[in-house]
Structure 1
């Protein structure tokens, strides 16, 4: 998701591809447009996405045009609505063959000014067919109608196209199943558990407010909180409890946003916690987050004071009895936002390095910290990655701890 976006406008001859581009650029309708127009760049004054290129499809150099397309606008004359399925299937097969980025596709119904008096009948048929196409083909992200002649909906076509390129729906939501993707679910589970500061498996008003501030830099008022609860309640049962929002409710909220084509909200949340789009999937970028610094006084790799402080907080939050010792179930709660518990903290694999209370393995605060120090010595990169997965970079959202490690100077120079 870079600063430049390439939008390819394609469709059968005569559907109004070139007129669509010219109306956007000139804000006037050209009654006798050329067959095609050259590639047009729109500056950031017009495009919120940065520099956006509009490319009019031509069969003469179709492979070159489509190969690096970020999003495709598939135009179809709304008057010929009966052939919509046939047209979409034909063009999707071409896009799949020639576009290596697997770009999202927007169905654009052109010449809506020709619908006439049958508007209600058309709307019903158009919506039904487009919904069926979106369910059948996951790359079809949305559908919109417009009129270049009347300049109605033209700007919306390109705004939607930019949004699809910058915040693609498919990597986070499966329109066919109506569910979040596996990768998005894993990412959102981690975010939920990082935001759940008191570790009670519920996001209360304060925690939701902190999450809102962290991800969107805005204040969440009482009405905003009630709107979120209402949206979740309209989607599933048990998504909202007296204390706040459950993880099921949190997932339902993100899914509803995607269903309403508000996936940019979900992406903004993901990006705030280090996620990006890579190879068509939601991925956590660990590299830029890892902070290594030289400390010639240190003879070995060791966690910084801020990281140790973060780890003490993790332990204390699940030590409800404040006894300074926790069971394996509490260890699992600490790592609940991760796919699995690191082997170094799986008490079921050990028999001599843990204490037993009532026959159950337990570890103390000192043992917890010592394991992390040993983890750092044995596998520095894996240790830091797990710290980040726990939320060390974000701390308790408001604390903003920074993961760091002291590195022996000689070793650092040799690398």
Structure 2
């Protein structure tokens, strides 16, 4: 990254002398009419720049944001072609004037010319040859006299104005420092000099930062929260004295009625915004940008795309799940916003949680959240459902999970630490038949529920999530998705995603990519209706080249009703036997055990595909099945630890309240 500063102004205002004094660090009495472009390295610029003042929040040094090189370009006002060419390449313009006449030319000639050319870069205005003016303090200051105020008010492009003298070396380094700062820490996105207020985008960003830093969500930044913010932004904690000074400055001392201890005081959201407005008015751009940059804001005050969407290599045959770090983050987030400790997030609590984000993810709306997960008796989002929903999101679109981790304040460095990529699914060959190898590291499995209308697919999904079903038949138009953790044999746990495809069924079954994402297909039919099994026979015949590679389980639903002989070319038991598959499982929503056993069977088929691949006669070695066990145990342990940590937290709260 490089910075190009173009120095322009009327002839004889001292542009070349100003550049020479900066590069030589002393006044040069004889300079050529125009100086060739000068390149200054980052290190050389740092040695020439004076240290900045420090105040309530320590100023952030430009060092971490300085361009690798700075190019300073001298110009002649009379050479219009060269001047125009250089201005169009400029990152910052240093506009120099000398006296009243050249000052008037700033408004009458130079600024209109810049706008006419479409040059929209920060401008620093410099009055040169101010030898007679009384020396200022050693540290540079913005001089907002009557002479400069009209310029700053009329032209938003002008970032700052100051007086310089190449002869006495007054404010020479400061002038180029302001050019650097205008590039690295621009004021225009933050502050409206005409209105004298922070811009809306800056206010929104500060509100989000305040929200994320308010760890206990009490509407105040206490000393610890403020010090943590200071550490994050400026690499050192704040002192109690700094905190007290800020409270006094913004008149934001808040004392609870029952306490006068200083440690209970805090900075409100409004006070935090006022504080940053003060910094902007004082020209303390570095401080504000130090805060914004620590929270990954760009110069346009949008979150950096690299922060929202970090690169991660994912094999086409791999899946993405939450890592233990991701589980821990979402459990902590749930606890933080479950204010009434009732084990569920109400609509208000859920909305509060998503304040620093664009809102509930679009993917959640598309999957009919919260009907897609387990909720509490009051209809609130349970911890079980909360973790399941994020597993669903990560499986279907990990980019959404990474994006929201960033919005929600995941602070473990790169948000990719919150997810894990599974090993690519391997294919095996036996007796001329291709099949999927055993799964060794997956904890989330995806199952398509397929069957004729009225076969009971929707009731199966309702029983999966709610444990109940409705007798009212409503045809499924849009796809339905639900997700839940299930307990396998031996107490092991994993997550199962069930998808009813609706009217998109043909399009999905023709899509090889979608079928590759599917771990197992559950073929369902109503065992009490003699006409529904033929639908599966016809469907599999139509798409057999694609479906034969996917592990399959057949389920005879509504088994509590009288079983009917199927009006089909082949009966279900014979059909599955010809495919070397297990006979259809007889399932009823009234038989809770049968439903749970079906879900376990689906997971088993997903874990060891060779046991449920149509047309594959030979069953796998027991060795293949044993390879799966450690993974399921690990996955189950993660979920159990997440739930257990909440139980411990709740117990501690109840004990403390009883005391």
TM-score normalized by the length of structure 2: 0.54
CA distance in 1, matches of 2:249, 2:91: 32
The 5 A counterparts of 1:75-224 are: 75-77=96-98, 79-80=99-100, 84-98=103-117, 102-114=120-132, 127-224=145-242
For the pair 1:69 / 2:69, whether they are aligned, the reply is no
Preserved CA contact (<8 Å) 1:112 1:146 = yes
Q: What residue in structure 1 maps to residue 295 of structure 2? A: 273
Q: What residue in structure 1 maps to residue 27 of structure 2? A: 29
Q: 1:251 to 1:333 in 2, by over 3 A?
A: same
TM-aligned CA deviation for residue 34 of structure 1: 2.1
SS at match of 1:47: helix
Which of 254, 267, 270 is the matching residue for 1:241? 254
SS at match of 1:241: coil
CA distance in 2, matches of 1:247, 1:89: 43
Q: What residue in structure 2 maps to residue 252 of structure 1? A: 274
Q: 1:299 to 1:111 in 2, by over 3 A?
A: closer
Preserved CA contact (<8 Å) 1:292 1:404 = no
For structure 1, the 5+ residue unaligned runs are 117-124, 234-238
Q: What residue in structure 2 maps to residue 290 of structure 1? A: 310
For the pair 1:5 / 2:3, whether they are aligned, the reply is yes
The 5 A counterparts of 1:218-367 are: 218-233=236-251, 239-242=252-255, 243-277=265-299, 281-287=300-306, 290=310, 292=312, 300-343=319-362, 352=371, 355=375, 361-367=379-385
For the pair 1:409 / 2:424, whether they are aligned, the reply is yes
SS at match of 2:42: coil
Which of 392, 413, 420 is the matching residue for 1:374? 392
Structure whose alpha-carbon radius of gyration is higher: 2
TM-aligned CA deviation for residue 352 of structure 1: 4.8
CA distance in 2, matches of 1:217, 1:401: 23
Preserved CA contact (<8 Å) 2:310 2:415 = no
How big is the alpha-carbon RMSD for the aligned residues of Structure 1 and Structure 2? 3.2
TM-aligned CA deviation for residue 222 of structure 1: 0.8
Judge which range, 268-277 or 312-321, deviates more.
268-277
CA distance in 2, matches of 1:89, 1:282: 32
TM-aligned CA deviation for residue 378 of structure 1: 3.2
SS at match of 1:112: coil
Judge which range, 337-346 or 188-197, deviates more.
337-346
Q: What residue in structure 1 maps to residue 39 of structure 2? A: 41
TM-score normalized by the length of structure 1: 0.83
For structure 2, the 5+ residue unaligned runs are 47-65, 135-142, 256-264, 426-512, 517-659
* 1:27-75 CA-partner distances (Å, limit 9, x unpaired): 3333443221111122334313342211112334112211221211111
Preserved CA contact (<8 Å) 1:10 1:75 = yes
CA distance in 2, matches of 1:407, 1:168: 43
TM-aligned CA deviation for residue 364 of structure 1: 0.9
Preserved CA contact (<8 Å) 1:9 1:74 = yes
Which structure is richer in relative contact order (CA contacts within 8 A, separation 6 or more)? 1
TM-aligned CA deviation for residue 355 of structure 1: 5.0
SS at match of 2:146: helix
TM-aligned CA deviation for residue 98 of structure 1: 4.2
Q: What residue in structure 1 maps to residue 403 of structure 2? A: 385
Q: What residue in structure 1 maps to residue 489 of structure 2? A: none
Preserved CA contact (<8 Å) 1:198 1:317 = yes
Q: 1:30 to 1:99 in 2, by over 3 A?
A: farther
CA distance in 2, matches of 1:202, 1:227: 16
TM-aligned CA deviation for residue 23 of structure 1: 1.3
TM-aligned CA deviation for residue 330 of structure 1: 0.8
TM-aligned CA deviation for residue 294 of structure 1: 5.7
CA distance in 1, matches of 2:318, 2:165: 70
CA distance in 1, matches of 2:336, 2:323: 20
Preserved CA contact (<8 Å) 2:90 2:121 = yes
TM-aligned CA deviation for residue 153 of structure 1: 1.5
